[in-house]
Structure formats: structure tokens, C-alpha cells
Structure 1
Amino acid sequence: MKCDATMDDAAQTERSGDTAGQARASVLRVIGLKKSYLTPQGRVAVLRGVDLSLEAGASVALMGESGSGKSTLLHLVAGLDDAEDGEIFVDGAEVTGLSDFGRAALRRETLAVVFQQFNLISSLTIRANVAFQARLAGRFDPVWQEELIHRLGLGNLLDRYPEQLSGGQQQRAAIGRALAVRPRLLLADEPTGNLDEATADDFMELALDVVAATGCAFLMVTHSARLAARLERQVRLSAGVIEKP
């Protein structure tokens, strides 16, 4: 699907409720997830049985105090760490049962992560960094890449390398890389922490356009109540579990 006017039209249709009432397939299911860490003071339980689900087209803000386990939960969902107990299903695949190779394939083809630390490849230009995951997954679309570059304000930075960019500019490139693949599940760990308010709003608008047009699920860790309110649902992680509404 070309994501210029077509994407805008699809997003408008979704947001206007034309697809209301249609069943939405489950993209993420987290069941009874537990995780603890060994410290000099003893073992500390971070997740004590987390249950969470996202359907196609859903956008959810994950909130909570610093140290409550929000980033840990995202890393487990992305297959970057191992849970002690519980199950994680991403687009039908049981992440907890996948090999390292299988998890890498999942991150390449099915989900995308916007990390706090950017994780750009220092030897690649910004243009190549934005296209990197989409090319690996065989989903590179030059029209969509150019729209991302325009929407994220990266046009004059494409031939530079990550070390030549500010933190906010690197974050925009990392966001573009994640969106370029059009993932089934988009995970974002404080994606606007290094952005000014206007650029943060632009990211939110773009991410929600992608969610509406492609039907991906979007889970974002944030401390911003203002940005969280723009998503379909807000959940809070406290004492190792998702609080009941």
C-alpha cells in the first residue's frame, strides 16, 4: 500500500468509525508474566503476573512510576529478555517459546521498537538507518520512506551519521526506522523524551495515522499524561501488575 494520500484516507476512515463493530484480531497477549532481578540486597520482583492484550488497530499508553517495570515489560514482549513465568503471544507467535533466531526474525518482520537509547547504526547514514529494518524485512517502500522523512523533518540530515546529530534528531531517525517497516506491533519506550513539544505531537499524529491505516497495534511507555490521552486506552503498571480500571 502506498502511504501518501491513501494512508491519510485510510486513517480518516478508521478514525471516523467506518470500521466500528468489526472484530479486531489479537496482536499482543501477555498472560501472567513474571520477572525478577537479583540484587546485592536480594531478589527483587519487578513483574508479578502482568496480563495485557492489544488488538489490531489498538493504541495503548503504558504508564507508571519510574522503576515500576514498564521498560522491562517492553523488553520481554520484544524478546530481548526472558520471563520467569507467563506467556507472550505476538501476532499468534509465542515469544517465550522462540529460539534466539526466531525472536530476531520476529523483531525484523513483525514488531518494531523505538528505544530510549536510539540504537542507530553508527556506520550508516541517517537515510540508511531509516531504511535498515524495512530492507531486512523485504518491505522497503521508497514512497513511504520519503513521507516519513518529510513528516519527521529529516530531509536535510540524510547524509549525516548518528554522531553528527543531536539527541532529538537521532530519536526522530529511530522513529522513522520503526515506522518504515509498517510493523504489526509498534513498541515505543518514552519515544518523545528527547523531542520538543511540537515534534512530539508530530510523532504522535504520524504513529496514530500508521495505526489507523495499517491496523498495527501500538504500545507506548510514557510519563506524559497529555500524550497518553491521545491514545485509545491508558493502563498503569503498579506493584508489578496492571491496575484494574
Structure 2
Amino acid sequence: MLLSIEDLLKSYPGPEGPVPVLRGVTLSLDAGETLALTGESGSGKSTLLHLVAGLDAADGGRVGLDGQEVTALDDSGRARLRRSTVGIIFQQFNLIPSLDVAANIAFQARLIGTPEPQELSRLAHALGLEPQLRKYPEQLSGGQQQRVAIARALAARPKLILADEPTGNLDEATADGVMEQFLALVAETGAALLMVTHSPRLAARLGRRAHLSQGRLA
């Protein structure tokens, strides 16, 4: 088992006291599995991804990832695990504006010392980014920016990919094309995928589906 989540709890401060967001979530994911996480806005989907990635700390429960207890690590330990094991794709792309497309794609792989020029070229070719490699993010369309974010997440060959509404800012036709390329590349790498989506149509393309409602799996 690559990812094991047990009885995960998370609250955030509110004007009248703590506001529960996750109320005891238990979930697992094997290597190579794909799982769509659906639910209404505010149900805790993005919070769950942030806890798995070690971007935030849980209030209770545990997250095990690739043999390590994410919930037992300090900030630097979670950062090391995130760099080496996890690829994250955000809805807002989060590209680095001062770097061109080629440098954005290579960014995470260079952080962990594993930039492979052949792999970077393969991803750029597969995602149709070769003509854009020397351009900067502001010169790209939304669909092109999302393809760069996907290539960056895959370039370091992570064991787990976390995708938060990866096509949420794209029109339906563009989203379908990006998702087609994304899922094909994920399958090639053998990575596991946990993807947050509001779209039942996109969720149906993944191997499993889980639904969050008021902080609990329904």
C-alpha cells in the first residue's frame, strides 16, 4: 500500500471556536491506482490533499506514505518527502513567472537532483509543449500552462500525484484534451493518482471514486 490515511482530523479556527473540516477520514491507495475525490465546496477535499502532501499538519489520525508517517514528520521532513515522492498539480497552475517553460518543467526534478533531459524532452513532446519551451508562463494559454504544470509534476517521477481540480480553469473541450494526455502519462509512469474534481464525467475516467460530505467519506 502506497498511501494509508486513518481517522484523519482537521479543524481551522473560527470566530466561535474551531471549525471541523475533516472528521475522521480513512482511505488507502495502492501504487498505480487512480482515485477521484468528489464532494461539494467546503467538504474538505483540498484540505485532505494538503495533509497528504505535508503542506499542513493534521490535528489527529495518521497519514502513511511510501513507508513513512507523514503525520509524525516535522516541516523539513515533510518537505523532503514531498520533493522526493509527491507530484502536486494545483488548479491555479503555480508556475514560476521568471522561468521559461523548459525551466519550469525541470524545476522539481532539479530540486532532488534527478533532471533527466531525455525525460523532460519526452514529456514536452507528449504534451505538445516543444514549440513553447523558451516562452514564459504569461505568454501561454490556460491549457498550455496546465500542461506545463502536469509535466513539472511528472518530471521527477513521483510515486504519488496529487491533483486539485487540474482542469477546473479550462473550458470543457480543452479540459478533455489535457485530461486525456495527463491520464496516459500517469499510466506510463506507474504513479498513483489522487485527484480532486467536481466533474462526475472526469471522475468516471479514474479507477476508483470516493465522495466527501461534511468532512466524512460518504
Query: Partner of 1:187 in structure 2?
Result: 162
Query: Partner of 1:174 in structure 2?
Result: 149
The residue type paired with residue 34 of structure 1 is L
- Structure 2 runs not aligned, ≥5 long: none
Query: Partner of 1:108 in structure 2?
Result: 83
Change (3 A) 1:147 1:197: farther
Q: How many residues align structurally? A: 218
CA distances 1:172-231 after superposition (whole Å, capped 9, x unpaired) = 211110011121000000001123434433433333334433322100000111111110
Query: Partner of 2:65 in structure 1?
Result: 90
Q: 2:3 aligns with which of 12, 25, 28?
A: 28
For 1:38-53, what aligned pairs fall within 5 Å after superposition? Answer: 38-53=13-28
The residue type paired with residue 86 of structure 1 is G
Change (3 A) 1:61 1:227: same
Q: Is the 8 A contact 1:210 1:216 kept in 2?
A: no
Q: TM-score when scaled to structure 1?
A: 0.83
Q: Is the 8 A contact 1:38 1:44 kept in 2?
A: yes
Q: Is the 8 A contact 1:190 1:222 kept in 2?
A: yes
Q: Is the 8 A contact 1:122 1:161 kept in 2?
A: yes
CA distances 1:42-85 after superposition (whole Å, capped 9, x unpaired) = 32111000001000110000000011110000001000011100
| RMSD (CA atoms) | 1.6
Give me the whole-angstrom Cα distance separating, in 2, the residues matched to 1:157 and 1:211.
22
What secondary structure does 1:178 align onto? helix
Q: 1:160 aligns with which of 101, 110, 135?
A: 135
The residue type paired with residue 159 of structure 2 is R
Query: Partner of 1:213 in structure 2?
Result: 188
Q: Is the 8 A contact 1:58 1:211 kept in 2?
A: no
What secondary structure does 1:103 align onto? helix
Which stretch has the larger CA shift, 39-48 or 183-192? 39-48
1:60 paired to 2:35: yes
- Structure 1 runs not aligned, ≥5 long: 1-25
Identity %: 64
Give me the whole-angstrom Cα distance separating, in 2, the residues matched to 1:203 and 1:97.
36
Q: TM-score when scaled to structure 2?
A: 0.93
Give me the whole-angstrom Cα distance separating, in 1, the residues matched to 2:206 and 2:116.
27
The residue type paired with residue 219 of structure 1 is L
Which stretch has the larger CA shift, 140-149 or 67-76? 140-149
What secondary structure does 1:42 align onto? coil
Query: Partner of 2:216 in structure 1?
Result: 241
Give me the whole-angstrom Cα distance separating, in 1, the residues matched to 2:55 and 2:188.
28
Q: How far is 1:137 from its partner?
A: 2.1
Q: Is the 8 A contact 2:31 2:190 kept in 1?
A: yes
